[in-house]
């Protein structure tokens, strides 16, 4: 089932939203994400990180002494980016 999306401007990318089914398929199939947070100066940082997605949450591991753990305790606002590296335009 391919969903056709009509985009007339990149100012509004809401049309790129995945259906629940396609999102579930992506999260089940992929093994890594880009995990993003900010440092003390407010600069964004991102790393490739393995994850498990279960019960509506992303689970990742890190050592409590790592800079990212300290940064997340300081400011818990984070982002997770999951994407497929395959050339297919459909899931």
Q: What's residue 24's pLDDT? A: 94
Is pLDDT larger for residue 37 or for residue 10?
A: 37
Distance, in Å, from the CA atom of 16 to the CA atom of 5, rounded to the nearest integer, reads: 7
* Strand positions, DSSP E, the chain: 32-38, 44-50, 52-54, 57-59, 79-81
Helix, coil or strand: residue 27: helix
* Closest alpha carbon to 91 in 14, 29, 34: 29
pLDDT tens sequence across 31-90: 999 999 999 999 999 999 999 999 999 999 999 999 999 999 999 999 999 988 766 555
Contact 6, 15 (CB under 8 A): yes
Mean pLDDT over 22-36 rounds to: 93
Q: What pLDDT is recorded for position 88?
A: 55
Name the residue among 48, 49, 3, 35 with its Cα closest to residue 22.
Answer: 3
């Amino acid at each position: 089932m391919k969903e056709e999306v009509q985009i007339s401007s990149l100012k509004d990318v809401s049309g790129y939203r995945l259906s629940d089914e396609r999102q579930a398929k992506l999260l089940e199939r992929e093994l890594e994400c880009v995990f993003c947070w900010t440092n003390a100066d407010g600069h964004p940082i991102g790393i490739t990180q393995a994850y498990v997605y279960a019960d509506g949450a992303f689970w990742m591991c890190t050592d409590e002494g790592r800079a990212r753990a300290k940064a997340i305790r300081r400011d818990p606002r984070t982002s997770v980016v999951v994407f497929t590296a395959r050339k297919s335009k459909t899931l």
